[in-house]
Structure 1
């Protein structure tokens, strides 16, 4: 069973904004900064699970890229497979070519954003996700990943942590904050460790012990 209400409130806030953009075909680009171990990968997997379920009768793709194939992309694939099994799709979903997970007709395509990776030719119909966006080359994103969503005005989500002003994530973040001031639509989400600790006592205990 797919249920985003199982997500923590801060994860759910992002999920609802992303889903609204997807379903309304707004084509918004979001930036999501979360403290380490706050659950961004779980948020991503739950979004993928829900969208694959809703679009399973259609030959459409969602695309997720990570700075490296191993371990980051592989970890994302493993998490989605686990969530599909948890939702009762064990034996229904299939893996293809080592980087695709198919649910009936819908597909989640997992790609490396390494400079040497050949990714041109893929299309993102449903969603485009950029994991650890601060470690992805601006040129690689702009020339090879962003165009994947052009024909469908796809919704895009950048996840990560900004560590200096020159990163792709920081650039997307600053653009989003400027757009928010202009039209009031929230595109940037930031959750520090205090926000996470409100909903996870174990996380709070760990931080306080450091």
Structure 2
């Protein structure tokens, strides 16, 4: 099934699965333009791990900012891939958030503030979906420890937003490590890379660029994967500078002037 992935998806899968199989405990950050196939990549890796470890009582865990709809969407995709692979009527669902193949489980959890997830263990893989939308403290307190006794491989998926997010923090740390040892831990594929393999996607992006403008924050973050600097405020530093002038500050409106 991995052979059906696009080249940029394969590059990520090879790095992640090597870390899993050789028990390296790597942490990866993955930025793929919106609708570029990150969830398909995730489901394909989950399918492979469930298949290879179906005789073992081990877990892989995937969390998302919300259970409904985000985690449920990931569950549905994995079920489809299991069926495609011939496991229809073989895999089972448990408790509304677990998919089981043999003895191996894929556990899907919410990363909302109110979610109670402590106590789960990630043996094979820990996936953080839409990492830019997950609270840093929630991740550090509840999810990161899930792999502490297993040296689990962790993958953060998402798109850019601003320079304060969990994903951006992991990304910058990975880039720093890569500068030291040359090992690639951060993977980034913007809309141009995705469009090489999907003409329909290219048509959609061109329409979005026309609709929003290529400098619109949503286009820049979701498709160009360029984070907003300065914590995601309404104006970036360049725009703030353009608003500055040499006129004195006024504390009240002046009569007859606008």
Q: TM-score range with shorter-chain normalisation?
A: over 0.9
**Once the two structures are superposed, what CA deviation does each residue of 1:152-187 show, in whole Å capped at 9, x if it has no partner?**
100000000121111000000000000000111100
Length-normalised TM-score, structure 1 = 0.98
Q: 1:115 aligns with which of 105, 113, 116?
A: 113
Deviation for aligned residue 1:195: 0.2
Identify, as 1 or 2, the structure richer in strand.
1
Length-normalised TM-score, structure 2 = 0.80
Alignment partner, residue 73 of structure 1: 71
Is 1:208 paired with 2:206?
yes
Q: Structure 1: which 5+ residue stretches go unaligned? A: none
Within 5 Å, which residues of 2 pair with 1:155-194?
155-194=153-192
- Number of equivalences: 208
The whole-number CA distance in structure 2 between the counterparts of 1:88 and 1:183 is: 41
Over aligned residue pairs, what C-alpha RMSD do you find? 0.6
Within 5 Å, which residues of 2 pair with 1:90-129?
90-129=88-127
Alignment partner, residue 25 of structure 2: 27
Q: Structure 2: which 5+ residue stretches go unaligned? A: 209-258
User: Greater relative contact order: 1 or 2 (C-alpha under 8 angstroms, separation 6 or more)?
Assistant: 1
Deviation for aligned residue 1:151: 0.7
Give the match's secondary structure for 1:181: helix
Deviation for aligned residue 1:85: 0.2
Give the match's secondary structure for 1:92: coil
Over 6 Å off, 4+ runs: none
Give the match's secondary structure for 1:98: coil
Give the match's secondary structure for 1:151: coil
Larger Cα Rg: Structure 1 or Structure 2?
Answer: 2
